[in-house]
Amino acid sequence: MTTLDQPAENSTRAPGPLHDAQTQLREATTILGYDDGLHQMLATPRREVTVSIPLHRDDGSVEVLIGHRVQHNFSRGPAKGGLRYSPAVDLDEVRALAMWMTWKCALLDVPYGGAKGGVRIDPRHYSRAELERVTRRYTSEISPLIGPERDIPAPDIGTDETTMAWLMDTYSVQQGHTVLGVATGKPISLGGSRGRATATSRGVVHVGLAALRSRGITPDGATAVVQGFGKVGRYAARFLAEAGVRVVAISDQYGAIADTAGLDVVALEAHVDATGSVVGFKAAAAVDPATVLEADVDLLVPAAVEGVLHAGNAGRVRARVIVEGANGPTTPEADVMLQQADRLVVPDILANAGGVIVSYFEWVQANQAYWWSEAEVEARLADRILDAWHSVTDHARRLDVPLRTAATCLAVERVAQAHQMRGLYP
């Protein structure tokens, strides 16, 4: 087992998300005064599995894909975390994302540990039937490790509610009965929760508006840019626009578009549904995607991938407030530069926690077989995430540290306390 504190052998990126997660943890355990044993316990994943996924392609050929599931910590409950389909997936990325899930669940006080899964695949190049076979084989390989009381996957980059339906069905067939609680982010007709599809974005916008106000910026009439127009970015842009924020530029992996008068987000959604990209949206100008991150706006929402704000571009970021819809978009080096430039960075483990909050609600509803209304889900989500916003900002003031440091310290302390109360077996 590789501890998360040592450079991993298969690291393909320098330094990459695992380095970022380790750096953030080291800072927190130093502030908390933890000894090396406790630090190593928090830094090391509890379990990791790598599986091969032989796939019959539609043309009759066979291809072998690689998948991972990393369960970082179970001290506070079953592991919880998304499943990512992307060509960039590697074990180190999954380890980092699993660790961030542990802190996120602890920060929001949902009774879970952290996990993450990934398959190295570009889903755009596979048919729906092929993706179903990949999902079912991957699920079958990891099924001894998952379950409502063990580890509960959810959608992430490149996966969606249909992926979760296949995962839930495969697991259920193996168990011999329907197990709704094995995954969250499922379709409503299969035990999904109302409000789950938009929950991460709702959370981003609740926290984003609070962050703007904390800097004396009135949301109505403020300006924003969003990087990424997938499950998180599109609804974040829509809800910002509904709150009166002028969304002036949006990018995706193919390009970027801008309109200083404010984009028509609903029309853009229709364009993306029809074409698969923001590129070619007639009611806006095409711009260089790099300019989105450096736009002179009140709010920047990175909602795509890790490491997009780094030492090479952080000095050019002009947004007053950065709210991390994505996991790990800001490297520790960029964090320092943004702090020095007086930019407010609302960290991922707080900003994008709306998804795991409503995933928790979905699991609770599935376990009770009792369904809540959308209004109930949304009200509870707003309460939870805004409570966390207040705890983190109060803690940051008390410790005189940035929000990420405060959030990580709060979360790590909760995990360490649970671990210490349970004791070390044997």
Cβ proximity of 325 and 302 under 8 Å: yes
Rounded to the nearest whole angstrom, what is the least distance from the CB of residue 292 to ligand NAD in the complex?
Answer: 8
Query: Alpha-carbon distance 125 to 237, whole Å?
Result: 27
Q: Return the number of the residue (29 or 198) whose C-beta is nearest ligand NAD.
A: 198
The residue type at 216: G
Query: Contacting ligand NAD (CB under 6 A), which of 326, 346, 392, 403?
Result: 326
Q: CA 234, CA 250: separation in Å to the nearest integer?
A: 9
Query: Does position 67 bind ligand NAD by CB under 6 A?
Result: no
- Which residue of the chain is nearest ligand NAD when measured via CB? 230
**Distance from C-alpha of 84 to C-alpha of 82, rounded to nearest angstrom:** 6
248 scored as a contact of ligand NAD (CB under 6 A): no
Q: Which of 355, 393, 396, 407 binds ligand NAD (CB under 6 A)?
A: 355
Could you tell me which residues are beta bridge partners of residue 155?
83
For residue 275, what are the contacts with CB-CB under 8 A and spacing of at least 6?
none
Can you give the length of the chain in residues?
Answer: 426
- 71 or 227: CB nearest ligand NAD: 227
235 touching ligand NAD, by CB under 6 A: no
Taking the C-alpha atoms of residue 292 and residue 314, their distance in angstroms, rounded to an integer, is 13
Integer-rounded Cα radius of gyration of the chain:
20
Short-list 396, 301, 389, 388, CA closest to 339: 396
Pick between residue 158 and residue 402 the one whose CB is nearest to ligand NAD: 158
Is 80 one of the annotated active-site residues of the chain? no
Q: Which amino acid is present at 256?
A: A
Min dist CB 383 to ligand NAD, Å, is 19
Q: By CB under 6 A, is residue 157 in contact with ligand NAD? A: yes
Can you tell me which of 29, 135, 352, 365 binds ligand NAD, judged by CB under 6 A? Answer: 352
Q: Token match 């998304």: residue?
A: 82
Q: Is 350 in the site for ligand NAD (CB under 6 A)?
A: no
Catalytic residue chosen out of the listed positions 116, 186, 231, 282: 116
Instruction: Outline where 122-198 has alpha helix (H).
Output: 128-142, 161-175
Contacts of ligand NAD in 173-202 (CB under 6 A): 200
152 binds ligand NAD (CB under 6 A): no
Residue type, 372: W
For residue 229, the minimal CB distance to ligand NAD (Å) is: 4
**Given the rule CB under 6 A, which residues bind ligand NAD?**
155-158, 200, 227-233, 251-253, 289, 303-305, 325-327, 352, 355
User: Which residues are part of the catalytic machinery?
Assistant: 116
